[in-house]
Structure 1
Amino acid sequence: MSETGDIRISNDVVATIAGLAAIETPGIAGMSGGISEGLAKRLSGKNVQKGVSVEVGKLETAIDLRVIVNYGSKIHEVCKNLQTNVKESVMSLTGLSVVEVNVKVEGVAFQEEVTETLQRVK
């Protein structure tokens, strides 16, 4: 505890920052709400916390992401960039140390599917 009191950052705040950084990463088609929801329910900017799980402590956080990758992208490169983008965004905006960013690729999106999904969300 500091002289002025504690600062606590909620899981929702970290999840939102991580989700926004994720969907801004080239090669990521969207977040996945989980296999049980099916690929038809891929999500974009309207609900970025879907597909993001976080554990936030006083000084550090761990982040799990479930994503859909664009077809034709080099998945390992996209995921490395995703991990870096999410880690840097969360660290710079919250001051929390990001101990891990785990990525689970749950699907591949073809360009037509991405366009249709974005049109439905708007």
Structure 2
Amino acid sequence: MDKENKVNHSGYEIEDVGQVQIADEVIAVIAGLAATEVDGVQQMSGNITNEIVSKLGMKNLSKGVKVSIDGEQVDVDLNLILQYGVSIPKTSKEVQEKVKGAIETMTGLTVNEVNIRIAGIQTESE
């Protein structure tokens, strides 16, 4: 793999056949999609750059997700906007479980932490 490539990868061997490398962006997309499947999650919240990219029509599925990988261990930070009226602790726990399950099932990596930051609440009128 080219060391000058700025995309980080997580790699592991599969039964002495070869190596699998997963870009951090792929793990972030899995986490973002899993989080938005939970009832009560209105959307992901990203920084201003993510917001501009979204408005320009380029879909950024990893918006509001930060992934840290150390070997086969993954930490995920999510910024969420929830629907008004949902239970924040219940919804956050569902997101944590869903994201952890999706990443571990799809990548074979172990998720240590899924940290949730509630960036906002959206009402139906917004």
TM-score > 0.5 by shorter chain:
yes
Q: Counterpart amino acid of 2:67?
A: V
Q: Counterpart amino acid of 2:118?
A: V
* Structure 2 residue 22 is matched with structure 1 residue 5: no
2:75 counterpart residue number:
62
Give the number of the structure whose residues are more often helix, by fraction: 1
1:120 counterpart residue number:
none
**Matches for 1:16-55 after TM superposition, within 5 Å:** 16-34=29-47, 37=48, 46-55=59-68
| Larger Rg computed on CA atoms | 2
2:92 counterpart residue number:
79
Q: Counterpart amino acid of 2:19?
A: D
* 1:62-120 C-alpha deviation (Å, 9 max, x unpaired): 1000000100001111001000000001111111100100000010000122xxxxxxx
Contact 1:8 1:58 survives alignment (8 Å)? no
Q: How many residues align?
A: 106
Gapped regions of structure 1 (runs ≥ 5): 114-122
Moved over 4 A (4+): none
1:90 to 90, 93, 103: 103
Give the number of the structure whose residues are more often strand, by fraction: 2
Measured after TM superposition, the shift of residue 57 of structure 1 is 3.4
Distance (whole Å) between structure 2 residues aligned to residue 51 and residue 23 of structure 1 = 11
Contact 1:10 1:56 survives alignment (8 Å)? no
TM-score, with length taken from structure 1: 0.79
SS at match of 2:125: helix
Q: Counterpart amino acid of 1:69?
A: L
- Alignment root-mean-square deviation, CA: 1.8
Contact 1:68 1:106 survives alignment (8 Å)? yes
Percentage of identical aligned residues: 38
